[in-house]
Amino acid sequence: MNEREVKEYIEQVSGLGIVPGLDNIRELCRRLGDPQKELCFVHIAGTNGKGSVSAYVSSALQEAGYRVGRYISPVIFEYRERIQVNGRMITKKYLCQGMERIRAVCEEMTGRGLPQPTAFEIETALGFLYFKEKHCDIVVLETGMGGALDATNIVEDTAVAVITSVSMDHMSFLGDTPERIAEQKAGVIKCGRPVVSAWQSPEVAEVLRARAAEQGSPITFSSPEKLGHVHYGLERQRFDYGDRKGLEITLAGKYQVENAAVAVEVLDVLGENGFPVSEAQLRRGLVKTKWPGRFTVLRKHPLFIVDGAHNEDAAKRLGESVEFYFTNDKIIYIIGMLRDKDYEKVIALTHAHADDIVTVTPPDNPRAMSAYELAQEISGIHPRVTAADSLEEAVEMSLLLAGREGVIIAFGSLSYLGRLIKLVEGPFGKAADKNGRSK
């Protein structure tokens, strides 16, 4: 297989539907030699913050000299980002060879009347194979959508299970209350293995405590009471957490301090379970962490920020950051959403901060909501909204509306942000430089 054939195969499999449960991924991995059984994991579930916590933890573990696998979802720039070792994407050669091997196994399975493994199951199995091939000391593994029935949940050797912020998302699959969603996320808790959770609502915390007790697993919650002397900023943020003074991160957004606190708790638990990280390594890991698309500043004059807020809790946090950082600035939004997301709540929680809103259609996504539909929804509560025919038009329009001193914030589905980032850092950034604007 070549890269084009890999993409075509995944697209073809994606259209075949989903069979609930873990039987299929277990059978697929069994036929591949159960590579996951030779690996140790930090298993991360949650609604928001999974990627950021994963990035912080992976960075610190790398600083400590471990060979770190990382499995992320969704990706921003290209397909191979999903599977990484020490920050480097899976090689093109292994992607093609590994996928060819897995396709042959899938054909064996369907030939015997078993269901076709899903695209996510195939990608998860490929990740396990690659992490084993690269002799990873530890793998930081993000769930896809849930927890209990997520394809990643066939892993057994969990150094620590992590539950980031739990809120309403994927309700048709996971449940229609935070407690039901929490029950699904708590499925990653393994018998006797430690758990770290972000601070949660009392209802969600109770579900997690009950599941941990049932499994005989010690559980630690990050705590807002341990945070102190927080200095927020767009380029660097500084805070105390517990006995640690002056921790620093370069990821922007008020919520990133909370995510970093979760990562600190995770690293402390890992240190007690065979993966020590020194104080200096932890600090270097935090400050070196990069995670594109999460309140990321792309350029200045005008300030251009992208953020992957696409559900109720993330939109609430984005709104808090906008209000905090940009109280008296002219603000332009670019918004693109998927049809199956709770776009009404995202709009309701963010629209009041914007002077103008430009909507876009996330490209190449069958679940995309059209720019015109989204603009119609927004027009009922915001007077200045325009649908753009393309991402290029949206960027050009927003730059004109913002002028030199305004703020542009693009958010919504991560599926369009990668292409938007390339536009802003590429042709539009170069044009701005020629006109004498600083990036």
pLDDT digits (tens, 9 = 90+) for 335-384: 999 888 778 889 999 999 999 999 999 988 888 999 999 999 999 999 99
| Secondary structure class of 331 (helix, strand, coil) | strand
Yes or no: domain 3-288 corresponds to CATH 3.40.1190.10: yes
DSSP 221: E
Q: Are 187 and 175 in contact (CB under 8 A)?
A: no
pLDDT band with cut points at 50, 70 and 90 for residue 429: low
**What dotted CATH number matches 296-434?**
3.90.190.20
User: If you count them, how many residues does the chain have?
Assistant: 439
H or E stretch at 238 = strand 237-241
End-to-end CA distance of the chain: 41
Q: pLDDT value at position 435?
A: 44
Q: Are 275 and 61 in contact (CB under 8 A)?
A: yes
Q: Are 37 and 133 in contact (CB under 8 A)?
A: no
Judge residue 11's burial from the number of C-beta atoms within 10 Å of its C-beta, 0-12 exposed, 13-18 middle, 19 or more buried: exposed
- Provide CB contacts within 8 A for 397, sequence distance 6+: 358, 386, 388
Tokens of 93: 């050669």
d(CA 333, CA 407) in angstroms, rounded, equals 8
| Secondary structure class of 280 (helix, strand, coil) | helix
pLDDT band with cut points at 50, 70 and 90 for residue 328: confident
| Secondary structure class of 158 (helix, strand, coil) | strand
Q: pLDDT value at position 428?
A: 66
Q: Which runs of consecutive H residues, i.e. helices, occur in 112-254?
A: 119-133, 171-174, 178-185, 202-215
Instruction: Pinpoint the residues of the chain covered by CATH 3.40.1190.10.
Output: 3-288
Instruction: Pinpoint the residues of the chain covered by CATH 3.90.190.20.
Output: 296-434
Q: Are 256 and 291 in contact (CB under 8 A)?
A: no
**Alpha-carbon dihedral sign for residues 299, 300, 304, 307:** positive
Tokens of 354: 């914007």
In the sheet that holds 385-387, the strands lie side by side as 296-299, 303-307, 407-412, 331-336, 356-359, 385-387
pLDDT band with cut points at 50, 70 and 90 for residue 25: very high
Provide the β-strand partners of residue 231. Answer: 238
Category of 81 on φ-ψ map: left (φ > 0), alpha (ψ -120 to 50) or beta: alpha
d(CA 437, CA 15) in angstroms, rounded, equals 45
- Triad 22, 42, 180: Cα angle to 5°: 55
Provide the β-strand partners of residue 335. Answer: 359, 411
H or E stretch at 62 = helix 50-63
Give the Å distances, CA to CA, from 373 to 291, 333, 335, 370, 376: 30, 16, 12, 5, 5
- Smallest CA-to-CA distance from 294 within 326, 260, 329 is with 260
- Provide CB contacts within 8 A for 328, sequence distance 6+: none
pLDDT band with cut points at 50, 70 and 90 for residue 171: very low
Q: What is the pTM of this model?
A: 0.90
- Smallest CA-to-CA distance from 178 within 190, 189, 165 is with 165
In percent, the amount of the chain with pLDDT more than 90 equals 77
Tokens of 87: 């920050």
Q: pLDDT value at position 430?
A: 53
d(CA 212, CA 214) in angstroms, rounded, equals 5
Q: pLDDT value at position 60?
A: 98
- Smallest CA-to-CA distance from 200 within 224, 218, 176 is with 224
Q: Are 239 and 229 in contact (CB under 8 A)?
A: yes
| Secondary structure class of 334 (helix, strand, coil) | strand
Q: pLDDT value at position 220?
A: 98
**Is 90 exceeded by the pLDDT of residue 241?**
yes
Q: pLDDT value at position 176?
A: 56
pLDDT digits (tens, 9 = 90+) for 243-289: 999 999 999 988 899 999 999 999 999 999 999 999 999 999 999 99
Owner of token pair 């109720």: 312
